[in-house]
Amino acid sequence: MDFFIDTAHIEEIREAKAMGILDGVTTNPSLIAKTGKPFRTVIEEICGEVDGPVSVEVVSTETRGMVKEAKELVRISENIVVKIPITPDGLKALKALSQEGIQTNCTLIFSPIQALLAAKAGATYASPFVGRLDDISQDGMALVEQVLQIYDQYEMETRVIVASVRNPTHVLRAALMGADVVTVPFQVLRQLAQHPLTDIGLKKFLDDWAKVPSS
Ligand code: G3P
């Protein structure tokens, strides 16, 4: 399973990269806004740091604008994957971009049929949002399970990115289901490496080590 980080903060991206587990980055307009920096500066900084795919979202809502933005975005760096929302216009943009060989990530997916449509339109990646479904008392990971089943059944090549991840359990369930990618906020990424028994065990080792005579 590939690990992407879901952030636009360059410090968090550098830290994740240093941890040796970073395969790519996903951003969205809200995450870009949180940096307080101009859009292009943020994207150039990220693409200069990361070798893998960097998802960057369009803000147009009609096909022509989405396609125009996508073509401008991929000129910034060859690792840019254009994030397109799953709407009727988005589907048309996905189709046009896939025919031009531009990589896409179909975003804001909340139903398995939306994911099926995204794959049929030629999306490179599809992003079901699990946390936002959990927030309204639905099981977000059940959606991922259904999407994986459909893609597997019809041998679709679109890769599933588990997005809107809120906790390590989402990551565990994604791995057990065989999801292609999980995109994780920095805070959850740090949690993944932690366990209370690891902390207790390490403290005990160091306390005991302090009792070892120096000579
Ligand atoms: O980047 C898309 C997605 O991961 C957003 O997550 O936490 O805003 O629901 P969230």
Q: Tell me if 78 sits within 8 A of 54, measured CB to CB.
A: no
170 CA to centre of ligand 1 in angstroms: 13
**Ligand 1 mutation pick, 84, 110, 127, 129, max ligand atoms within 8 A of CB:** 129
Ligand 1, atom 8, lies closest to the CA of 164
Give domain 2-210's CATH architecture: Alpha-Beta Barrel (3.20)
pLDDT at 65: 98
pLDDT at 145: 98
pLDDT at 117: 98
30 CA to centre of ligand 1 in angstroms: 9
Output the tens digit of pLDDT for each of the chain's 215 residues.
999 999 999 999 999 999 999 999 999 999 999 999 999 999 999 999 999 999 999 999 999 999 999 999 999 999 999 999 999 999 999 999 999 999 999 999 999 999 999 999 999 999 999 999 999 999 999 999 999 999 999 999 999 999 999 999 999 999 999 999 999 999 999 999 999 999 999 999 999 999 999 98
Distance of alpha carbon 178 from alpha carbon 82, whole angstroms = 24
Kindly give the residue spans of alpha helices, DSSP state H, lying in 21-87: 29-35, 39-49, 63-76
Stated pTM of the model = 0.95
One-letter amino acid identity for 87?
Answer: T
**Ligand 1 mutation pick, 6, 105, 133, 183, max ligand atoms within 8 A of CB:** 6
Ligand 1, atom 3, lies closest to the CA of 164
Supply the DSSP string of 121-170, one letter for each residue.
Answer: TT-SEEEEBHHHHHHTTS-HHHHHHHHHHHHHHTT--PEEEEBS--SHHH
pLDDT at 82: 98
175 CA to centre of ligand 1 in angstroms: 19
The SS3 call for residue 50 is coil
Residue length, the chain?
A: 215
Ligand 1, atom 4, lies closest to the CA of 164
Q: Helices 168-177 & 140-153, crossing angle to 10 degrees?
A: 20
Our separate counts of H helices and E strands in the chain read 11, 8
164 CA to centre of ligand 1 in angstroms: 4
Q: Which residues of 63-77 are buried (b: 16+ CB within 10 A; e: fewer)?
A: beebbebbeebbeee
Q: Vertex 169, ends 155 and 33: CA angle to 5°?
A: 85
